[in-house]
Each structure stands twice: as C-alpha cells, then as structure tokens.
Amino acid sequence: MSEMHSDELLAQVAALPSLPGVYRYFDAEGGLLYVGKARNLKRRVANYFQKNHGGTRIGHMVSKIVRLETTVVRSEAEALLLENNLIKTQHPKYNILFRDDKSYPYLMISGVSGRDGEGPQPGQKFARMAYYRGSVDKKNRYFGPYPSAWAVKETIQLLQKVFRLRTCEDTVFANRSRPCLLYQIKRCTGPCVDMISPEAYAVDVRNAEAMLRGETQALLQQLEARMLAHSEALEFEQAAEVRNQMTALARVLHQQSIETTSDKDVDILAVRVQGGRACVNLAMVRGGRHLGDRPYFPSQLGDAAAVHASEQVLEEGDAPAQPVEVMVLEAFMAQHYTSVPVPPVLVLSHAVDKSLVKALSESCGVRVTALHQPREQRRAWLDMAQQNVELQLARLLAEEGSQQARTRALAEALDLPTHDLDNLTIECFDISHTSGEATKASCVVFHHHKMQGSEYRRFNIDGITGGDDYAAMRQVLLRRYSRVAEAQREAGGAEPSAGQARLPDLVLVDGGVGQVSMAREVFTALGLDLSRIVGVEKGDKRKVGLEELVFADGREKVYLGKDSAALMLVAQIRDEAHRFAITGMRAARAKVRIGGGQLEEIAGVGPKKRARLLQRFGGVRGVADASVEDLSTVEGISRELADTIYRALH
C-alpha cells in the first residue's frame, strides 16, 4: 500500500508521536477526505499505510491521500471536541455528518437585575418572558434548549396561566397608560401600570423559574405555606390569590402530565438504520415536561460506515464489529453536544462507548449518565422515541422513493440518461418584478433527487427596459453559462474536469416559445447543446397540471398529463424557482421603497453628506420626497449631485 504514497508522506507518518490527537487526510485537490481521533496517533495512522486494503472503500480513500495533518491534544475530551468541530465545519467525505442549520430556541427571562425588582429601568424592575433564538449571554436567564418553537410558545402560555408574567417588549411596557388585553383575561398582572409591586412580581418570577427547573413539588409546598401564612394574618385577599395560583398550577401539572420523579432534564436518543439511510430521534424532557422530539438524518452514511468498520479491524483485529446503529448514535452525540448543553441523563436505544460519555462529561463540566436499558418512566420515554424514529425513517424512505420515481419518470420522458439518476442535474430559471421594478432572476438547482438550496443563485438584472422578461432571461443565461462555454472550449469539446463549471443535464425556463427562443439564441452564441433547454409553458387558462414542455431543438411540444410523475417534478422545480425569485424581488422592492441602503450606494454621497441630508429632511423618506432644488440647498450638495440623488431615489 505504501508504494502509491510519497516518501515525504510516509516519513511524516513514521515521525508521528504516540500521543492522543486528531488526524486529517487530504486529496490532491486539497479536499478533506477524513477526520479521525486516536489515543495513539502513531499507531492509528500507521495502520492505514502499512496494510493492503484492496478495492474496499477504505482502500479507495487511502489511495487518494496525498497530505496529512495532525493536532496533538491533552485528553480524549479535547480530541472529541476538535474532531467533531472539524467534521461540522469542513464536511469531510468519509465521515458521518449531521447537519442542523437552525439554532435551538430557548425561553428567556430578561434582566438579571430585575430578579429582586431593583433594576434601573422600568422594564428591568419587571422581568419579561420571551421566546429567544440565538447566542446566550449573562444579562438574561435562559431555559432550554427546546426542540421546536411550538414547545417554547406552549411553555410561555402555561406560565402565563399560572404566574402571569409579562411578555410585551420593553418599549411597549414603558409607554403603557392602561392595562392591555392580557391583564383583562388574567394572563398578566399588569406591572406596566403598577397593578403589582416589584417585590411581589419578583416572587412570581422566582416561582416560574422553579417550575421551569422541574421543582414542582417544592413549589406547591412553598405556595401552600404562603397561603396559610396570609390566612393566619387575616390577609384573605392575598391568600385567595395564592390559592388561585396553586389551583392553576395543579391543573397545568395534570393536563401536561408533568412528571414528579427525580428526572428533570433528560434527552432520549433512539436510532434506526434501514435501506441505506439512518435516523436519530431526539426527545427532550426539560423540567419534568416531555417537550417533543426532532429527527436527524445523517449524510454520507455508506462511505463513512465502511471506513469506520475497516478502522475497527485495523485497531482491534478480530474483535466483534460495532453495529452501524452504535456508530451513528456515537457520531450524533459527539457532534450534537459540542454545540448544545448536555443534560445530566441520556437514555439511549443502544449502548455507546463509555469513553465517549466520559469525554462529554469532561467537556461540559457536568456528570453525564447514559442508560440503554431503562425502567419505568424512562422506559416509556424510550419506547416512544423508538416508535417515532421508525415512523420518521419510514416517511423519509417513502418520500425518497417517490422522488426517485419522479426523477426516473422525467429522464425517461425526455430521453435523458438513466444510468446515473443520482447525479442527474436540473437548473431552472425564473424572472420576477413588479411593473418593471426591482427585477430579479432566480436559478434553483436539483440533483440527488432533491432541491439543493445551498446552490441557489439570484441575479440582479440591470440595463434593460423595465418589464422586458426576454431581455432579463438573456442576461441571466449569459451570466450563468458563459463560464461553462469557456470551460468546454478549454477542454476541446470534452466534458470539463471536476471543479470546473459544467452544463446541467436539463435547463428549465419558466415560459413558453418566447423564452425558449431567447434561451436558444444564448446557447447558440455560446456553442452549447440546445437539446438541454426545455420551457415550461402554462396550459389553458394557466391551470396547474396542464403545462406543456417546449423544446429549443425543434421537437414538438409535449403534454405529460396532469397525473404524470415527471410533470410533478417539473412543476415542483418550476414553483421553487418562482418562489425564490419572488422573495428576492420583494426584498429588493421593499429596500427601494423604504430607501434603506440607497443613499450609501450613490456615488459622491459620503457619510458627512448623508448625515446632512438625513438631518435636513428628517430621514430617507424625506430625502426621497425632496425636489432637486431642495436637495441642492444642502451644504456640499451640488446641482449635479442633487440630480443624481433624485434619479437614484426615483
């Protein structure tokens, strides 16, 4: 195996230390192939290069390695963090990758200083309860994370019923002169108009936090003691208020089935592998409440599983192979909990390596307990998670099967190659504007049987008559495919090499004969294949399902039928292009109408002149309403510049 690698690389491998660390393999183009961690870097990495792996997937990967990078760390916990941060940010080809682009939502209670009702601002005297998504800070208290926005908003509604904390913005709170509707329906105590003292409100805040932490029994006992104390002091109105609060809390506990066991914060993880796909279902229990679950589907499972299995053989010889489910679960735990706090208890469908749990404990500073054979309530939670993971994976496989069937149907209907449907690539273009204003073109991309949002592109269309969709289509196609034509010329007519711009298998344009004719002109001028162009012409009375396909190479129009799987895929891609174009156009139109950013984009208008204009006319709208004569009266604004500003804003 070593014959295919350079002497420099082999010497680097031989010089590795016998210390814990993380290693990274790169190919000839600088692409990251694999990231791994090891207790002993020298032994682990040397195993890759000392044995002949044949035609296996790990052999295929090792044959591509031309460069190696390593990082020595102090502990396995550090190695775990570094490895999975690299996997999440660099996306190596042979690692299991869990993608989660959305941050988790939290429930926020604002203002540390408001805890005892002594904040300097009115809003800080009375803490606010709110939905929050983003990075956390020390100014506020955060509870969560929650699996969904719905779970946060439901929790806020529960707390409003019991403790009646405010949810309004500080600016609204500071300017109220009478109680709002929430006060009238007994969902707020009206702190904005002094219906409750800061001290009493602070007690409600502390009680709400206790409920969020799952301290429900202690909270009920505390409320009961307060009620009795008020009764003994003959403060019957206050006693009745506390009694009502206890009744509301008991009702919430019953309706929400909030557990009174010792478990407060628990994550339940169930994994299922089937049909070449995997799913991890994460269910969250916070403060004793089951908040719901969320499914995760890893990518690159096939290559990563094969490499991981071969790595086990290299490391452990004839030891029993680790099940794929365990490998997937460990990858999820390592990647997920590098950015999300780890609860003290994890209930798992499969046993994982103890060293992983230990590393998670060290990295977060919390003693983590992992259970895979739970009892009683934990067993019920795990059974629920396992049922959900099976349903989610079955849904995914059904959707993918349906989408693959649509891809095949379209390829067969249009005589496209069917031997490699996973890589069948379709790009679709649409033009959007409002009466010629803020014209945008969109390009959406479909391959591997799904829309690829990261490859979408929007184009600003300039230098055309407003509303000229044909000119807009000509411009966007020239800008999109000029580089493709250049790459084909450099390749002498052959398929461009990997990394260069390539022509998709199908180019869809939203429009009929006119738009297709425009696309034909562009492709003819660039020397590209006309058979790739297909127009989606709206049918009779523009009804969905009656669309016809128009071809640029002279073929007759084709009507696929309203129940055709191929037409469903075409309509899906066309509608996505339309959605993407119209959202871009609306954003641009809003920017123009409001004027945001317009002054900054005008040549000759710097910060000082912009400040003078805004000060004179009271804002961007005032500048836009001003005449050329009015603009030229501002210091530093010449007649020519005033005319330029006026035209830019109109």
Residues 62-97 pLDDT 10s: 888 888 999 998 877 788 878 888 888 888 888 888
Specify whether 427 is located in the same domain as 489.
Answer: yes
pLDDT at residue 251 is higher than 80: no
Specify whether 483 is located in the same domain as 369.
Answer: no
- Distance set, CA 318 to CA 44, 45, 313, 351 (Å): 16, 19, 7, 20
Residues 330 and 352: their CA atoms lie apart, in Å, by 7
**Starting at the edge strand that comes first in sequence, how are the strands of the sheet with 345-348 ordered?**
289-296, 277-286, 266-274, 345-348, 369-371
Per-residue tokens: 648: 């830019």
> Is position 603 within any domain?
yes
> Is position 11 within any domain?
yes
> Is position 202 within any domain?
no
Dihedral angle computed from the Cα positions of residues 231, 236, 241 and 245, in that order, rounded to the nearest 10 degrees? 30
Specify whether 458 is located in the same domain as 372.
Answer: no
Residues 455 and 478: their CA atoms lie apart, in Å, by 18
Residues 558 and 548: their CA atoms lie apart, in Å, by 6
CATH number at 619 reads 1.10.150.20
Residues 504 and 407: their CA atoms lie apart, in Å, by 14
pLDDT at residue 598 is higher than 80: no
Specify whether 362 is located in the same domain as 440.
Answer: no
Closest to 265 measured CA to CA, from 378, 362, 101, 363: 378
Q: Which domain holds residue 630?
A: 595-649
Q: Is the peptide bond before 145 cis (omega within 30 degrees of 0)?
A: yes
pLDDT at residue 214 is higher than 80: no
Parallel, antiparallel, or unpaired for β 426-434 and 506-510?
parallel
**Which residues, including other chains, have CB under 8 Å from residue 299's CB and lie 6 or more apart?**
96, 97, 99
Specify whether 498 is located in the same domain as 384.
Answer: no
Per-residue tokens: 608: 């000082």
Specify whether 514 is located in the same domain as 627.
Answer: no
Residues 353 and 546: their CA atoms lie apart, in Å, by 57
**For 354-359, what is the mean pLDDT?**
86
Residues 126 and 106: their CA atoms lie apart, in Å, by 19
Predicted pLDDT at 55: 64
Residues 644 and 42: their CA atoms lie apart, in Å, by 67
CATH number at 387 reads 3.30.420
**For 152-177, what is the mean pLDDT?**
84
pLDDT at residue 593 is higher than 70: no
> Is position 193 within any domain?
no
Residues 572-584 pLDDT 10s: 999 999 999 888 7
Per mean pLDDT, which range of 191-205, 241-255, 258-272 is the poorest?
Answer: 241-255
> Is position 323 within any domain?
yes
Rg of the chain (C-alpha set): 31
Q: What are phi and psi of 492, to 5 degrees?
A: 70, 30
What's the N-to-C CA distance of the chain in angstroms?
69
Specify whether 325 is located in the same domain as 435.
Answer: no
Instruction: Select from 562, 577, 592 the last residue of a domain.
Output: 592
Question: Whose structure tokens read 């010792």?
Answer: 262
Residues 288 and 217: their CA atoms lie apart, in Å, by 11
Per-residue burial over 58-75, b if 16 or more Cβ lie within 10 Å, else e, is bbebbebbbbbebeebee
> Is position 120 within any domain?
no
* 458, containing H or E segment: strand 457-460
CATH number at 34 reads 3.40.1440.10
Closest to 636 measured CA to CA, from 606, 615, 614: 606
CATH number at 484 reads 3.30.420.340
Q: Answer whether 507's CB lies under 8 Å from 429's CB.
A: yes
Residues 211 and 258: their CA atoms lie apart, in Å, by 10
Specify whether 308 is located in the same domain as 445.
Answer: no
Specify whether 464 is located in the same domain as 557.
Answer: yes
Q: What are phi and psi of 21, to 5 degrees?
A: 180, -175
> Is position 319 within any domain?
yes
Q: What are phi and psi of 268, to 5 degrees?
A: -115, 125
Per-residue burial over 452-475, b if 16 or more Cβ lie within 10 Å, else e, is eeeebebbebeeeeeebbbbbbbb
Predicted pLDDT at 523: 93
Specify whether 606 is located in the same domain as 630.
Answer: yes
> Is position 274 within any domain?
yes
Number of domains in the chain: 4
Instruction: Select from 90, 110, 144 the last residue of a domain.
Output: 90
Residues 379 and 307: their CA atoms lie apart, in Å, by 33
Parallel, antiparallel, or unpaired for β 266-274 and 345-348?
parallel
Residues 227 and 159: their CA atoms lie apart, in Å, by 20
pTM over 0.75: no
Residues 420-458 pLDDT 10s: 888 899 999 999 887 677 788 999 999 988 899 889 999
Specify whether 360 is located in the same domain as 431.
Answer: no
Q: Answer whether 351's CB lies under 8 Å from 344's CB.
A: no
What letter represents residue 564's amino acid?
S
Instruction: Select from 52, 69, 90 the last residue of a domain.
Output: 90
Per mean pLDDT, which range of 154-158, 299-303, 377-381, 557-561 is the poorest?
Answer: 299-303
Specify whether 367 is located in the same domain as 433.
Answer: no
* Overall size of the chain counted in residues: 650
pLDDT band at 498 (very low <50, low <70, confident <90, very high): low
pLDDT band at 158 (very low <50, low <70, confident <90, very high): confident
- Distance set, CA 506 to CA 6, 550, 556 (Å): 42, 13, 17
